Amino acid sequence: MLIADEFFLIAHNDIRGKAKLHPAATGLGLAAGLLGELILYGHITVTSAQVTVIDRRPPADALAHTVLDQLIGEAQHQAVRTWLSFLAQTAVTSVGERLARAGVLRRQESRRLLRTTVNYLPTDLNVAAWPATRLRAVLERNEPPSVPDALLLGLVAAAGLTREVLWSAGPRAHHRLNLIVPALPAPLKELVAHTEAAVGAAVLRGAL
């Protein structure tokens, strides 16, 4: 499963699809997930807080393709923080739709008062609960995590969801988590750091 998809499932309740994380951090975490996917597949890189496109060939995934097109089309914007803010605005919908297309989630519209709200309900509890379960297991194991898992763990920590994932884990897992982000490849390490900073800035502005 892709990074942003797993982040989405971790950030939402695995039965009723309710958000476990406040909207600003959810959006930023998902946005970072989308950029992270493009970094992992070698389409873009992040250095000195700037996003650079290094491979313009279209990615297999439709959403990744869209994001890459946006990055290419608006090359005047390079700051990671700009892209995180921009992608965060629509990330819940775009990633939610991607998971719905994959059959993992089911889109549900509900009308309350005058507003229509869209929810994404898991179709299979086990599938929805799997990413968090797997991350816990990764941290309990002795061998180092894969890069995508390490990135996902970094983003979960940056968004403030650590406790949701590690609620039952021991101090060893917490300790290992602290070592994982510094060991990430430089572009991903930067991405995680900027996500954490953007989430913190949103808290300070009270703009959640």
Question: For binding to other proteins (CB under 8 A), which residues are involved?
Answer: 19-22, 24-25, 40-41, 49, 70, 74, 76-77, 79, 82-83, 85-86, 89, 143-148, 150, 158, 160-161, 163-164, 176, 179-180, 182-186, 189-190, 193-194, 196-197, 199-208
For residue 134, the minimal CB distance to other proteins (Å) is 11
Which residue number, 62 or 208, has a Cβ lying nearer to other proteins? 208
Compare residues 121 and 197 and give the one whose CB is closer to other proteins.
197
Hey, what long-range contacts does 180-186 have (CB within 8 A, 24 or more apart)?
180/145, 180/150, 180/153, 180/154, 181/150, 181/153, 181/154, 181/157, 183/144, 183/150, 184/147, 184/150, 184/151, 184/154, 185/147, 186/47
Smallest gap, in angstroms, from Cβ of residue 191 to other proteins?
A: 10
Judged by beta carbon, residue 40 or residue 169, the one nearer other proteins is 40
If the CB atoms of residues 99 and 157 are measured against other proteins, the closer one turns out to be: 157
CB nearer to other proteins: pick between 113 and 204: 204
Roughly what angle, to the nearest 10 degrees, separates helices 125-140 and 171-180?
Answer: 90
Q: Collapse the DSSP code of 52 into the 3-class scheme (helix H, G, I; strand E, B; otherwise coil) and give the result.
A: strand
Q: What is the DSSP string of 96-138?
A: HHHHHHTTSEEEEEEEETTEEEEEEEES-HHHHHHHHHHHHHH
Q: For residues 116 and 104, give the distance between their C-alpha atoms in angstroms, rounded to a whole number.
A: 22
> Measured from the CB of residue 92, what is the shortest distance to other proteins in angstroms?
15
Min dist CB 123 to other proteins, Å, is: 22
Residue 3 is encoded by which pair of tokens? 């990074």
| Nearest-approach distance from CB 184 to other proteins, in angstroms | 7
